Structure 1
Amino acid sequence: MSQDAAARSPHVAVEDAEAALMEHYPRLVRLAYLTLPTGLGKHRRVLVAHRLAQRTLPRSGRTGPVEGGAYGLLRLEVLRGALEFGRWGRLRMALDGVRLPHVLGLRVHPRVGDDAELALDRALSALGPEARAAFALRTAERLDTQRVRALLERAGAADPRGAVRRAAGVTAERPALEAHHLLAAAEFDPCTVQARPTDLLRRRHRLRLAAGAAVVVAAGGLLTTVWTDGRAPASYTASGGSPVAGDARDLDPAALVRAAPGSWAATARMDFTAWPARGSRTADKALLAQALAVWARPGPAVDVSATPGTPRTAPAQPPQLLFAGDVDRATVVLFYDGLRLIRYARPRQGGGRAALDFAQVQGADITTAAAVVLTRVDGDTRYLTAPWIAGAGTRDLMRPDRPAAELGRSGEGVTDPVPTPGTGTAASTATDTATGAGHGTGCPATWPVLQLRSAAQVAERHSFLLTDLGDLSPVHLTYTPPPGAGAPARQPREATGAPALVSWAHDACRLGTLRGQGVRSVNAWEFARTALPEAGGAASWTCDRADTWRGPGQAVVRFVPPDAAVTAPGATAGQQTDGHACSRFGQDVMAGVMWKSPAGHWYLLAAGSRDVTRITASHGVEAAADGDFLAVRAPRGVRPALSGRLATGGSLAPLSGG
């Protein structure tokens, strides 16, 4: 029986299900892999995904009606199993671990993808299992929104609508066809995997000592190594072959560049070159030599990551040492090579995997070189602050009326733990700013940020905000106020004033979609503030511009009516994934939304920046208005075309996607 015939059949025979399993096995495993909790790690996710696909066949001869026929039945069972696995957490892992496919002495993982695939992987990692499932069903399975919700509901998802909404945040950042091709790439293919030994040298040593005794290997192939002397496992550094191309001096701890402790106060270049070497182990040559060796040739026990566009190459010259010391349960070494930050971290005691992280920081300044992430442990982050930082505090973007709380720091500039934004917080419920309908947004209840103050020697009364978006370098948040009557164009300023904090309370929810993308700064530009019809008050139009270290950026226009809750995210009125909209190279912007007045009337609203002199609507709504704002009664659901005219005589199209 063909799949189409099975889709029309009220029942599915086991034989048809078996045929569908063999034909679509890779699709089923990929769906399970994408849905399973990322905290399992790639090795265990691969094994669990295969197990879920292999146990989907019905036990009886025939099963009841299922949309999609045989494949639809298998897809539903895989989805249900993956969501259940995520909800039961460690208990499910303990119960199911012994029944996983066995891989002894090896760790398996999909092949590492390119920058676009890694960026998508990071974005998906910031979502929960239900939202990742929604993304996979919408993008890989090509199901429409209604079918995705229905399938999630049948699979036992707690919030299908919210899952689809959260997944849309990732979908909005890339075209549907591009996302479909990315999910088909090696990064997300658990059927094409690479394998490496867990700890080959240690295992051979154990076998010699055992003299033929049986060794019980834990499910999943993980061999636990206990190091009682505090040294790092040899597998942190790759063995065999040439150590590294280039001069051996580049790996010599004695050749490391070290800035003088007070040089920051006597230079006009306020970036990482002015950071002195700090930490309790800056004189530990063995540790520094190991960190450099791992950087040059990371071994199988090292997890290597890099922000998009950042090369993972070995040192080309002796780098600058910024930090070496013990922080919480980790030993951390931090280097700077003029273009990148490189962080080496390994467990302070015992065995475990090490990490090697690369981040591009070319052109850093007094704010973007003000702090670096040292560790993230149990939902908290510790930072190392620049030597020119005189004061540190934390504040919650979701509570703009609360003052910053003082943040403790060690004498070397290491901060007390700060809650990592977007983790360990319940989703809030907000009101749709265009329709007035309540819905779960998936936004965190809080968004902690750093508020730092520069020393008076370099910038008097200079305070600014930084937020952790998953990279080594936290992101600088700024604000551009709306145009004033007869005032020149405003420039971005620090987001510490009351209007800036109120604006960021509406925009903070979007920050989670930028996690792990190598973002340097995000500016909230309030390009218009307009009076609404029927005495509806004043609405705010903001363009959030995110710039990355590698160059490309993205922009999102948000509309916030006057009756919106303090933390209600603005309605998306337009966006641009790659381009210069809302930057100094794209200073003209226009967008439109449909708005429901308090009296229940629907309006087409459109607003432009200061140089927009006329806005015209067509195709369903025929209207025009001089100036930078248009408001006209319109039928609900209409999607008219908008165009604008600039003071220079040129034309302007709205950002798409509203």
Structure 2
Amino acid sequence: MVWGLRLFPRAGGVDELALDRALSAVDGPVRAAFALQLLEGLDESGVRELLAEAAVADPVGAMRRAARLGRPDRAGAQAMLRSGEFDPCTVQTRPSDLLRRRHRVRAAAVAAALCVVAGGLAVAVEQGARGGGEERSPAGVFAPVLDPAELMRTAAERWADTSRVDFTAWPARGGRTDDDGLLGRALRAWAEPSESVRVSTTPGTASVPPAEPPQLLFADEVDGAAVVLFHDSADRVVRYAEPLSGAGGAAIDFARTDDADVTTGAAVVVSRTADGARFLLAPWIAESTTRDLLAPDTPGRPLEVGPDGVTAEVPRPGAGGACETWPVLQLRSSERIVEKHAFLLTDLGELAPTHLTYMPKPGRGTPARQPREATGPDALVAWARTACSLRTLAGSGVRSVNNWAFAEQKLPEGGASADWVCTRADTWRGPGRVLVQFLAPAASPADPATVIADRDDTALCSKFGQHVLAGTHWRADSGRWYVLGAGSRAVTGIRATGEVRGAAGGPTLAVRAPRDADVELTASLREGGTLTAVH
């Protein structure tokens, strides 16, 4: 602000705003990779080298995430980055009306004095009408829907006697559920957050006030903060936290919970630190343990849970650097609602943890299988090889991730077998993302798989996209290179064209080919039609 001038950035349109929001949702290395490619015109190797020199932990991952920004019109995104709306050195200035400024100041002073007098008279009249001894909450005066007295509270045992086992069945827990002062501050921050309140939302989640009184899930003190959790009819979980020491501002976080169920409505992050997170577990959780996805043969360790349902701190998966462990929750539901049902949840940095599932390899003559819980030996082995790829999904509003082992292939020159896995992430808002991964024989059960395809906003590997074909280059121990291809259960033959030609009946193919040979794979399907390889 400058006296006598108005200064403001240049205003962009809807496209500029969308790009700005997309950039603000990713971390620094991803923005750097995006700018180096579109503004500086560097190729992938140049970007990768610069990021490595800048000590970025995962240059390849940053480039992969940057490649998804600005789609589908990358040329348009490049033009916007070069425009004045994104130029940090450009600012618009406009003088105020110097002749009228003095009149406005005088008018403002008179208006302020009148407001003070009128406000004092209004307070005196209201106190006289009420007898002067009763306090009224601003929420009760201006927004009855945000009055703490109107909050919905579920009975403690409702979860065991309802067919809707989700957040609506959670009782209000914690030692401050009757603290109207805390609840009122949380509701007012939700209705109209001040500049000191940090607001965050998962992608596609609205932060508007509730249409009716929300349901209280939790209110208590956790890790030096007073925390309140709500659930509302718009299928959102809302977390409010204010520091107990008075240092720093409050925060309010919003997350979607559309059609949550026994698994996706089983836990909410109640507190997060640099090292870990505490969860508030659903009342139907009878047993809780933690395990490391990268150690599939190591049994889970008991997780301490307090009487209010808050867990001990669970280590967070590393967001950068070496991927050496991947902690997950392994929970079991009470037999009062489902018998011997255990499942896995992982923390991807949002309020609602992500549900992990598994679809086993196709069996001969067996019908197509459905996703199942990822607690069996085969599921844990597959997740040990693919867990580190979950890093690329952090902060994207993922509801569940399924590992589908769609093919098994006997490799040339020795007979060892490799698995092909389609890792599909479904978001709360609907769109999905797919990583196709190749699991070659490895010396360690936690050796990371090779990501050979990455697709956004696709139905691939879901019940609406049940056919998949993928290919990759592979080097045998002899030093010879091959092109490998594999398809799902309905694939009856695969053909390779381009610099190398070959064909095979059945769902797998292996042909000799130079390391950098440009090869296109197509497959024929049992029901008729063809399928091209995913990239």
TM over 0.5: yes
Matched letter for residue 565 of structure 1: S
| Structure 1 residues 289 and 115: alpha-carbon distance in aligned structure 2, compared to 1, 3 A threshold | farther
Q: Counterpart of 2:107?
A: none
Q: Counterpart of 1:137?
A: 36
Deviation string for 1:351-379 (max 9, x for gaps)?
31111111111100000000000111132
**Residues 1:417 and 2:313 are matched in the alignment:** yes
**Residues 1:537 and 2:416 are matched in the alignment:** yes
CA contact (8 A) 2:19 2:70 kept: no
Q: Counterpart of 1:167?
A: 62
Matched letter for residue 571 of structure 1: T
Q: State the 1:248 CA deviation.
A: 2.1
Alignment partner of 1:395 out of 270, 291, 299: 291
Alignment partner of 1:459 out of 338, 348, 353: 338
Q: State the 1:165 CA deviation.
A: 1.7
**Residues 1:269 and 2:172 are matched in the alignment:** no
**Residues 1:491 and 2:370 are matched in the alignment:** yes
CA contact (8 A) 1:530 1:538 kept: yes
Q: CA RMSD in A?
A: 2.8
Q: Structure 1 unaligned segments of length 5 or more: list them.
A: 1-107, 195-242, 428-443
CA contact (8 A) 2:258 2:428 kept: yes
CA distance in 2, matches of 1:614, 1:246: 71
Matched letter for residue 400 of structure 2: S
CA distance in 2, matches of 1:192, 1:312: 31
CA contact (8 A) 2:159 2:170 kept: yes
Q: State the 1:172 CA deviation.
A: 4.7
Q: Indicate the larger mover: 635-644 or 590-599.
A: 635-644
Matched letter for residue 222 of structure 2: V
Q: State the 1:623 CA deviation.
A: 1.1
| Structure 1 residues 173 and 401: alpha-carbon distance in aligned structure 2, compared to 1, 3 A threshold | farther
User: What is the aligned-residue identity percentage?
Assistant: 52
Alignment partner of 1:650 out of 529, 532, 535: 529
CA distance in 2, matches of 1:403, 1:190: 53
Matched letter for residue 621 of structure 1: V
Matches within 5 A, 1:92-131: 117-118=20-21, 120-124=23-27
Deviation string for 1:569-626 (max 9, x for gaps)?
2112223211100001111101000111111111110000000111111111111111
Q: State the 1:139 CA deviation.
A: 4.1
Alignment partner of 1:637 out of 516, 519, 523: 516
CA distance in 1, matches of 2:394, 2:141: 35
Q: Counterpart of 1:147?
A: 46
Matches within 5 A, 1:302-321: 302-321=197-216
| Structure 1 residues 337 and 527: alpha-carbon distance in aligned structure 2, compared to 1, 3 A threshold | same
Q: Name whichever structure is richer in helix by fraction.
A: 1
Q: State the 1:133 CA deviation.
A: 3.7
Q: Counterpart of 1:598?
A: 477
CA distance in 2, matches of 1:615, 1:523: 25
Deviation string for 1:416-449 (max 9, x for gaps)?
00111124x751xxxxxxxxxxxxxxxx211111
**Residues 1:575 and 2:454 are matched in the alignment:** yes
Q: Counterpart of 1:157?
A: 54
Matches within 5 A, 1:411-490: 411-423=307-319, 426-427=321-322, 444-490=323-369
Q: State the 1:261 CA deviation.
A: 0.3
Alignment partner of 2:181 out of 286, 290, 308: 286
SS at match of 1:311: coil
Q: State the 1:116 CA deviation.
A: 6.5
SS at match of 2:484: strand
Q: State the 1:566 CA deviation.
A: 2.0
Matched letter for residue 179 of structure 2: D
Q: Counterpart of 2:382?
A: 503
SS at match of 2:522: strand
Q: Structure 2 unaligned segments of length 5 or more: list them.
A: 1-8, 93-137
Matched letter for residue 164 of structure 1: P
| Structure 1 residues 163 and 525: alpha-carbon distance in aligned structure 2, compared to 1, 3 A threshold | closer
Q: Counterpart of 1:367?
A: 263
| Structure 1 residues 507 and 462: alpha-carbon distance in aligned structure 2, compared to 1, 3 A threshold | same
CA contact (8 A) 1:471 1:516 kept: yes
Q: State the 1:188 CA deviation.
A: 7.6
SS at match of 2:194: coil
The total of aligned residue pairs comes to: 475
Alignment partner of 1:380 out of 253, 268, 276: 276
| Structure 1 residues 394 and 352: alpha-carbon distance in aligned structure 2, compared to 1, 3 A threshold | same
**Residues 1:327 and 2:222 are matched in the alignment:** yes
Q: Counterpart of 2:301?
A: 405
| Structure 1 residues 174 and 506: alpha-carbon distance in aligned structure 2, compared to 1, 3 A threshold | farther
CA distance in 2, matches of 1:117, 1:476: 30
Matched letter for residue 603 of structure 1: Y
| Structure 1 residues 404 and 295: alpha-carbon distance in aligned structure 2, compared to 1, 3 A threshold | same
